[in-house]
Amino acid sequence: MSRPYRLLLPVVLLSLYPTLAAAQVLNVAFGESLEPYVMPQQASGIEVETVREALRAAGLGMQPVFMAQKRLPLALKNPRIDAIATIRPDSGLQAAYSEPYVYYEDVAITLRSRNLRLREIAELGKYSISAFPLATQYLGTEFARMAAGNPRYGETSNQVDQNRLLYRHLVDVVVADQRIFKYMNRRVVSDFREPVQPVSYHDLFKNCPTAWPSALPHCATASTADWPSSRATACTSASSTATRPPTTSTERRAVTLESALCR
């Protein structure tokens, strides 16, 4: 399945857009742990550079801000953030959305040695799962229903941990973008000195919606109306979420799984 992402501009900025244009620089927030799309250490990545070039073509600069993916929906509450990414138009946020600019290829991933055959989303309910943050919002109602009824479903903020959990047999299935999973394999070896194993990819999400409506500022010019979408995040530090205790069963399971990696 292709998961498209768009640039989101808050509605409050509609009347301020001429001021933003005059300022020449937009603070755009991006989710972390999305290599190679977003690479905070280099302030770069496929997605970051796409947004940077799109804004440059419109005569604007960009200052990227990086934060935990689950904090993205709260980003627009920060007056210093001009735009956020990885937000669906049906998220409920009142904002202006661009056209899609990047597509993620989400799949279910299992160890090849397990010889698992997955053909339908409902079959995931039988297995322990580590998914990317907010997967239940992006992968359709059937996936959300499966996750709600699966006590062994969790979402992992640091996506390199998904790979490690799978290779340690701590989860049966990982749900992630193929490119991110393959990139994180490099970190498993380089950062943790742990071996990787052959895996199987199961394309279960091809029937999920792949196009979202877009909205742009009413005062947008022809050049800005053609922007590819970009993601933005709030400038709240990702570390600020560490002190908040997990409140949902999904978050509690994620904490339990990530703690197991420290043993």
Read off the pTM.
0.74
CB 145 within 8 A of CB 153: no
Alpha carbon 247 to chain centroid, angstroms: 20
Binning pLDDT at 50, 70 and 90, where does residue 168 land?
very high
**pLDDT at residue 153 is higher than 90:** yes
Measured CA to CA, the distance from residue 178 to residue 147 in angstroms comes to 20
Q: What is the pLDDT of residues 217-253, one digit of tens each?
A: 222 332 333 333 333 222 222 222 333 445 565 655 5
Given 3.40.190.10, 3.30.43.10, 1.10.3720.10, 2.40.110.10, which CATH number is that of 103-208+244-260? 3.40.190.10
In 134-237, where do the E strands start and end? 153-155, 173-177, 199-202
Tokens representing residue 96 in the block: 């202006």
E runs forming strands in the chain: 2-5, 8-10, 25-31, 61-67, 83-84, 95-97, 102-111, 129-131, 153-155, 173-177, 199-202
Residue 197 to residues 110, 165, 189, Cα–Cα distance (Å): 10, 12, 11
* Per-residue model confidence (pLDDT) at position 244: 41
pLDDT > 70? residue 185? yes
pLDDT at 218: 28
Residues 20-72: tens digit of each pLDDT = 555 589 898 998 989 999 999 999 999 899 889 988 988 889 999 999 988 88
- Summarised one tens digit per residue, pLDDT across range 96-143 is 887 777 888 999 999 999 999 999 999 999 999 999 998 998 899 999
Number of CB atoms found within 10 A of residue 17's CB? 19
